[in-house]
Structure 1
Amino acid sequence: MKWLTEDALLVCDHRGKVDNRPSQAFVRIEGRRVLVATDPEGRGISGCPNANPLAGIRPCLTTMKVDEGYSTLVRIAGRPVALDALKGRTDGTPPATVDYIVQRPGQSLVKARS
């Protein structure tokens, strides 16, 4: 599985884009910071088209806790590296049932086992 960098593209099930903000600057791949545990959590989502206020449907606006996709072997400053198998939930309608996933890891050089 590939490590995620700040250039990774994470999207909700409706293809809204997750805002990446890496929390560490120690490790980089091709000059881009690597994402670690909890970087993908609590992030904003832009462009989610799943909205119908009259029907009570709201778009995905924020990522929730990651369900899977952090390395159990590789850590940076004690925090697991985020991998391209990463998956979590969003706050979209219905809450805690809409996923966000990795569409592109942001690099193609470095891999690790989960």
Structure 2
Amino acid sequence: MRWLTRDATMICDHVGHVDIGFTQTLVRIQGREVLVATDPEGRRIAGCPNVNPVIGLRPCLTTLKVAEGYSALVRIEGRPVCLDTVHGLTDGSPPGTVAYKVTNPGQALVEAAA
């Protein structure tokens, strides 16, 4: 599993794009910051087309808590590294069913076991 960097791509199930944020600057891969625990959470989602107010559909606007994808072995400043298996739910509708996931880790050099 590859580590995520700030160049990673994450999308919701409707192909809205998650804005990537990072909170640590100590470790980089090819000059790009590595993502650590909670970086993918609470991020804005842009361009989700799941909109139909008439039937109550609302677009994905924010990522929720990561369900899986933090390394159990590798940590930076005490926080687990994000792996390319990161996924969780969004605040889109129907509630509790719309996920986000990684489509590109942002680098192809560094891997780690879960």
TM, length-normalised to structure 2: 0.99
1:6-85 equivalences in 2 (<5 Å): 6-85=6-85
Question: How big is the shift at 1:97?
Answer: 1.1
Task: Please name the residue that 1:113 is paired with.
Answer: 113
C-alpha separation in 2, matches of 1:90 and 1:96: 8
SS in structure 2 of the partner of residue 67 of structure 1: strand
C-alpha separation in 2, matches of 1:97 and 1:14: 12
1:72-104 C-alpha deviation (Å, 9 max, x unpaired) = 000000000000011100000011210000000
C-alpha separation in 1, matches of 2:62 and 2:94: 13
C-alpha separation in 1, matches of 2:86 and 2:33: 17
Question: How big is the shift at 1:60?
Answer: 0.3
1:103 matched to 2:103? The reply is yes
C-alpha separation in 2, matches of 1:97 and 1:78: 31
Coordinate RMSD, CA, aligned? 0.4
Identity of aligned residues (%): 65
The amino acid across from 2:112 in the alignment is: A
Residue-pair matches, total: 114
Unmatched tracts of structure 1, length 5 or more? none
C-alpha separation in 1, matches of 2:96 and 2:77: 30
C-alpha separation in 2, matches of 1:72 and 1:103: 21
- 4+ aligned runs moved over 2 Å, structure 1: none
